Amino acid sequence: MNGWMNKIVEINLSTGKQKTLIIDDDVRRKFIGGRGLALKLYTDMCSVDIDAFDEDNALILLTGPLTGIIQTAGRYQVTSRSPLTGTIMDSSSGGFFGANLKKAGFDGLVITGKADKPVYLKITEEGIEIKSAEHIWGKNTHETMKMLHDTSSSNISVACIGPAGENLVPFASIMNDKDRAAGRGGMGAVMGSKNLKAITAFGEKEVSVSDPEGLKKIISTINTLIDKNPVTGKSLQLLGTAGLVNVINAFGMFPTENFKRGVFNDAEGISGEKIAETICTGRSACFKCPIACGRKTKTENREGEGPEYETIWAFGAQLGINDLEAITEANYTCNELGIDTITTGSTIGCAMELYEKGVFPEKLEWGDSSNLVKLVEDIAYKRGIGKDLALGSKKLAEKYGKPELAMQIKGMEIPAYDPRGAQGQALSYATSNRGGCHMQGYLISPEVLGSPAFMDRYSIEGKAEIVALFQDISAAVDTLVLCRFLQFAISIDTFKDILNIVTGLDYTENELLKVGTRIYNLERKLNSEAGFSRKDDMLPSRFLKEKLTEGASRNRVVQIDEMLDRYYKLRGWDENGIPKDETLKKLEI
């Protein structure tokens, strides 16, 4: 089948057995690949009450029909149950690993069971080998990648976990191609729970394309659209994601000191412009990507990539820290130890406020960067206070009797946009199927960046419709396993064209959008069966009661209840946020 290698392999690490899964045509049509197909496979394999670390919990890594073919399509999608939230979790990473997996002849992997001893998977065009990883267990991600590269004769991609994943930190990441991360929701810990240290992939097989001439044209069109869009064609290229620091701060939405404020007075010193002037040594790009938003950087002691916008915030404004070098070092350490920067920084910020309130025993003060790297290490190794911080902010704040100080939704920390400054983004956070997440519906795009057009960021009118639309489009694009940045420049109508040119299928834009809607509803159904409902679609009380006191978003709070009612109705969910039977039937779920 064009666009596919027709091979998704289930590997049971308990038994060592491998089995090629047969994907029904109807299932593939309804869920395509990546986040959609992984969700469907997961739903069919795992019960709703399964624990993230249960041997029977599946960890699914999937590519999509465009992987290895067009711009940004080197990515892969990871799906499992999250040890941080208990929800269904999808996490995605850029780089080249997905393309290498595909070119080795595999559309994806379904990993079940648990190996007796640490192992890694070696994937080549010849097949999949389960190999001992005892020599690399305990190594950080960069050491692991280097050691596996050294034992291979080819230009492989490595996806692996670091010590955080081995130690089952519930927000451990999977790292690949050095500094690319499937960062959120603890997929690295699920991998660690299976004693799976790494996966290497390399191949040179060609992925068949239905219309090669059409492909050439659409690749050119994609380049034009990327180039013309002010976000993808200019700011991301010039400053990377860090270009958002000054923008979001100017909008009074740059969360400062655990979201107590929306303006960080020292933002300029940790901005994308400052990075360009100081620590940046070059740009880096994922598979065939003309944007090249990655920043190669260098501190006095180390070299690496980043920090990205979210990380600058998490170790910067969120902690009141204005030391770019310290933020960058903390970022490098997270990458090496394999841990999510957003949850790590936000949890430290929560601990700082707990200390400020006099309930946290260890001295952690706003603006103090002296122990930042050590704190990250302590979390990854669950040492000292790191053992507490490794709980994530929700459980940490509950433990110290101040649950309201955790800036999280469904157990996952809210990223770097204060929702009081953008009502649509607030609704998107609240209703994200994986918790406090900006990726499942990036309303900052119309509310702040004006892409594809500006919406009044303070108004709640029309926001339910646009949030649902953006969530569904994002889910659809995740089935193609493309970079979200393409969504700034490319409409779902054009994504449909790309899909049809590669596969030879005849999707309409409405059918592709319906795939996204189906995914969003199935995720919701799984979560509701696991006990999630309206009570979990709620922002921390800070955003509902405490007005911002300075900057361009001052005097604002989130009006969540009004938006939620409208959103549920629009979605075809009941007043408790549960999909109705007729909705599921209409979506063929």
Partner 1 sequence: MKNFDIGKLAKMIDHTELKSSSGEKKIKNLCDEAKQYGFISVCINPANVKYAKEQLEGSEVIVCSVVGFPLGMNTSGIKALEAKKAVEQGASEIDMVINVGALRDGKYDYVRDDIKQVVQASAPAHVKVILETCYLTDEEIVKACELSVEAGAHFVKTSTGFGAFGAFEHHVKLMRKTVVPDIGVKASGGVSNFKDAMRMVNAGATRLGTSAGIVILEGAKLFKYAPDAWLEPEIPCHICPARSANMAKLPKALYQYYNKMCMNCEHREKYNRFYE
Where along the sequence are the contacts to partner 1 (CB under 8 A)?
221, 224-225, 228-230, 450-456, 458-459, 461-463, 465-466, 469, 489-494, 509, 513, 552, 554
Whose tokens are 């704040």? That residue is 397
- Tell me how far, at minimum, the Cβ of 493 lies from partner 1, in Å: 4
Give whichever of 324 and 466 is closer to partner 1, judged by the CB atom: 466
**Which lies closer to partner 1 via its Cβ, residue 98 or residue 421?**
421
* Residues sharing a CB contact under 8 Å with residue 126, sequence separation 6 or more, in sequence order: none
Of 78 and 475, nearer to partner 1 (C-beta) is: 475
The answer to whether 328 and 279 are in contact (CB under 8 A) is yes
Instruction: Give me the amino acid identity at 554.
Output: R
Cα separation of 550 and 544, whole Å? 17
Q: Name the residue nearer to partner 1 (CB basis): 388 or 472.
A: 472
Q: Which two structure tokens, joined as six digits, stand for 65?
A: 């029909």
CB of 512 to partner 1, least distance (A): 11
The tokens 């097989």 sit on which residue? Answer: 205
Q: Which residues, other chains included, contact 115 with Cβ-Cβ below 8 Å and sequence gap of 6+?
A: 13, 14, 130, 194, 195, 196
As measured in angstroms, the least distance from the Cβ of 194 to partner 1 is: 40
- 370: Cβ contacts below 8 Å, ≥ 6 apart: none
Compute the least distance from the CB of residue 225 to partner 1, in Å.
Answer: 6
Of residues 222 and 330, the one with the C-beta less far from partner 1: 222
Q: Taking the complex as a whole, how short is the minimal distance between the CB of residue 452 and partner 1, in angstroms?
A: 3
* DSSP H or E stretch at residue 298: strand 294-298
The residue written with tokens 């960062």 in the block is 183
Q: Please give the backbone phi and psi of residue 52, each rounded to the nearest 5 degrees, phi first.
A: -60, -35
CA–CA dist 405, 353 (Å, integer): 7
Residue 265 CB, nearest approach to partner 1 (Å): 18
For residue 81, what is the enclosing H or E element? Answer: strand 76-81
- Neighbouring residues of 560: CB distance < 8 A, sequence distance ≥ 6: 426, 427, 430, 538, 539, 543, 544
CB of 470 to partner 1, least distance (A): 9
What pairs with residue 412 in β-bridges?
409
Nearer to partner 1, 226 or 321 (CB): 226
- Taking each helix axis from N to C end, the angle separating 463-480 and 423-431, rounded to the nearest 10 degrees, works out to 50
The minimum distance between CB 562 and partner 1, in angstroms, equals 14
- State the nearest-atom distance from the C-beta of 3 to partner 1, in Å: 23
On whether the CB atoms of residues 346 and 314 are closer than 8 A, the answer is: yes
The DSSP call for residue 70 is: S
Nearer to partner 1, 45 or 250 (CB): 250
Looking at the Cβ atoms of 278 and 451, the one nearer to partner 1 is 451
Q: Closer CB to partner 1, residue 42 or residue 470?
A: 470
Q: What is d(CA 105, CA 107) in angstroms, rounded to the nearest whole number?
A: 7
